[in-house]
């Protein structure tokens, strides 16, 4: 299929997905201007074809959207070399120059937000309203780091002797490999690249094989913003070539830094690759977020938070609530209100439909995992209150389970889908033991009106991000990252730039003072 002009999904969703609204009997069209629908790699300021291509599919229909250059180790090496050459001049630009360029890039994202949102919806599956929200969120990191570029300060340290001055300089680490996931194909790039460029680093981006179109559109806009050749490079590749491309990006001596968002298992593999040359590494890995509702909570507020936290992107975010713990005094009330909210607010369909709130899961493997978690829980005594059925393709009904216990698979593994397993608990200590009884710790949520309890629980939760009476946490001003096996380092906020900087100590001696 041609990768330029108007691309049409020629299957009728109703035929593929029995059980979905009859209003979905129409064709779906990805109508994006050709300059934003890039399919080649972007290396050293040039659009480069690889020897082969791989298909990008609409997860809602299975229809091919485009064929994208399938880069291998050779193209990855070329991108690293280009970034290394560009670093020599980019690191010497002034903070103001970098700030201005990042701001221009931000302006272009805002200007083209509707087309960028369409790309996200068609290659990722999320509803268009959420995709628009992601583009705004994505742009906010360029806005934030355009300002942070001018706030990278060193220090002057008081010396212990009179004839010297002690200075601390902050300098960019060098070339950064940026490896990003499919569930936020735009925001995960700008959150990393914005910080890297603000610090004076250059980057090679490897987007997820499911969602390369958003990354390539960002590269197009970076070029239009005037970011010099080699400063931003994008090398898409298929699943089959990911290991060999990743090997280059994580082991090449010219790469100084790796930033990765993805599974804990993959993160451990990349850490081993980085260890041989002792590279700087930051990682945002898997989560298994608890969502605790205490008897003192405002139940309606808790239900609203649960809906926002669980069902955004059909449950496919790293900070999605995965284990719901509700105190016995309000357990039945919470289940009733949550079930009613699910019935009233959730609508399955293609993400481009205005009424859709729940798109498909990214692929069939993702849907199979949710089905497996549901069947395991039911076989162990859980009650199925809502949903539980996999529809055709990768669509999955939003599912509510009661009487869930900690021996069930859905409480031991991150589901990454629209499943709400609800555990009953009696005491605060019991809830904390369950919440912390895992080897990961990215985000955690709880609802309470007891101020003393709020302080106790917020400090006791073993996570990097805590939502208190709030289900949506992310903001460019706030640090994002986890503890335990959920990752290393922080992204966003004033701390995000530090991941791309070295601190150099300079002792200026022999002074006659």
Closest CA to 396 of 412, 419, 430: 419
Residue 365 phi/psi, 5-degree rounding, is -60, -40
Sign of CA dihedral 63, 65, 69, 70: negative
Q: Would you say 480 and 465 are in contact if contact means Cβ atoms under 8 Å apart? A: yes
Q: Using CA atoms, how far apart are residues 366 and 315, in angstroms rounded to an integer?
A: 11
Query: Is 124 annotated in the active site?
Result: no
Angle value at C-alpha 49, between 48 and 53, nearest 5 degrees: 145
The label of the residue with tokens 């050709």 reads 34
Q: CB 248: neighbour CB atoms within 10 A?
A: 25
- Collect all residues with Cβ–Cβ distance below 8 Å to 92 and sequence separation of at least 6: none
Largest pairwise CA distance in the chain:
85
State the catalytic residue, choosing from 123, 148, 284, 428.
284
State the catalytic residue, choosing from 318, 320, 397, 414.
318
Q: Where are the extended beta strands (E) located within 62-164?
A: 64-69, 155-157
Q: Would you say 214 and 185 are in contact if contact means Cβ atoms under 8 Å apart? A: yes
- DSSP conformational letter for 17: S
Closest CA to 474 of 190, 80, 223, 281: 190
Which residues on neighbouring strands pair with residue 488, listed in sequence order?
A: 283
Residue 366 phi/psi, 5-degree rounding, is -65, -40
Closest CA to 169 of 201, 194, 199: 199
3-state SS class at 208: coil
Q: Using CA atoms, how far apart are residues 393 and 160, in angstroms rounded to an integer?
A: 69
Query: Is 318 annotated in the active site?
Result: yes
**Catalytic residue ranges:** 284, 318
């Amino acid at each position: 299929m041609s990768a330029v002009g108007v691309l049409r999904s020629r299957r009728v969703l109703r035929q593929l997905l029995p059980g979905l609204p009859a209003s979905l009997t129409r064709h779906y069209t990805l109508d994006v201007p050709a300059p934003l629908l890039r399919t080649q790699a972007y290396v050293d300021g040039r659009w480069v074809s690889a020897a082969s291509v791989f298909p990008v599919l609409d997860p809602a229909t299975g229809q091919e959207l485009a064929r994208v250059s399938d880069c291998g180790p050779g193209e990855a090496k070329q991108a690293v070399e280009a970034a290394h050459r560009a670093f020599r001049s980019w690191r010497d630009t002034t903070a103001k120059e970098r700030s201005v360029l990042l701001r221009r890039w931000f302006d272009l994202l805002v200007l083209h937000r509707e087309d960028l949102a369409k790309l996200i919806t068609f290659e990722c599956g999320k509803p268009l309203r959420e995709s628009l929200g992601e583009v705004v969120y994505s742009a906010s990191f360029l806005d934030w780091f355009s300002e942070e570029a001018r706030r990278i300060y060193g220090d002057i340290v008081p010396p212990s002797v009179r004839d010297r001055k002690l200075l601390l300089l902050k300098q960019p680490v060098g070339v950064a490999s940026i490896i990003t996931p499919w569930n936020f194909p735009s925001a995960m790039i700008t959150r990393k690249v914005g910080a890297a460029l603000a610090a004076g680093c250059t980057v090679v981006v490897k987007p997820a094989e499911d969602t390369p179109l958003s990354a390539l559109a960002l590269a197009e806009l970076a070029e239009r913003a005037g970011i010099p050749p080699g400063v931003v490079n994008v090398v898409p590749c298929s699943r089959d070539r990911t290991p060999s491309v990743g090997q280059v990006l994580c082991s090449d001596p010219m790469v100084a830094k790796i930033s990765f968002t993805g599974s804990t298992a993959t993160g451990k593999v990349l850490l081993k690759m980085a260890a041989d040359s002792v590279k700087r590494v930051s990682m945002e890995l898997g989560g298994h977020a608890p969502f605790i509702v205490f008897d003192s909570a405002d139940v309606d507020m808790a239900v609203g938070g649960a809906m926002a936290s669980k069902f955004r992107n059909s449950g496919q975010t790293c900070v999605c609530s995965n284990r719901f713990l509700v105190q016995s005094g309000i357990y039945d009330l919470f289940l009733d209100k949550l079930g009613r909210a699910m019935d009233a607010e959730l609508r399955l369909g293609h993400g481009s439909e205005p009424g859709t709130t729940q798109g498909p899961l990214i692929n069939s493997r993702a849907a199979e995992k949710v089905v497996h978690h549901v069947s395991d829980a039911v076989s162990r005594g859980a009650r199925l209150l809502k949903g539980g059925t996999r529809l055709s393709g990768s669509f999955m009904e939003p599912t509510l389970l009661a009487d869930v216990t900690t021996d069930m698979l859905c409480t031991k593994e991150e589901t990454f889908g629209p499943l709400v397993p609800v555990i009953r608990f009696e005491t605060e200590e019991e809830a904390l033991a369950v919440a912390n009884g895992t080897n990961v710790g990215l985000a955690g949520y709880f609802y309470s009106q007891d101020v003393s309890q709020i302080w106790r629980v917020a400090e006791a939760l073993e996570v990097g991000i805590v939502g208190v009476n709030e289900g949506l946490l992310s903001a460019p001003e706030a640090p994002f990252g986890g503890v335990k096996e959920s990752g290393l380092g922080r992204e966003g906020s004033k701390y995000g730039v530090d991941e791309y900087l070295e601190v150099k100590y300079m002792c200026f001696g022999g002074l006659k003072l």
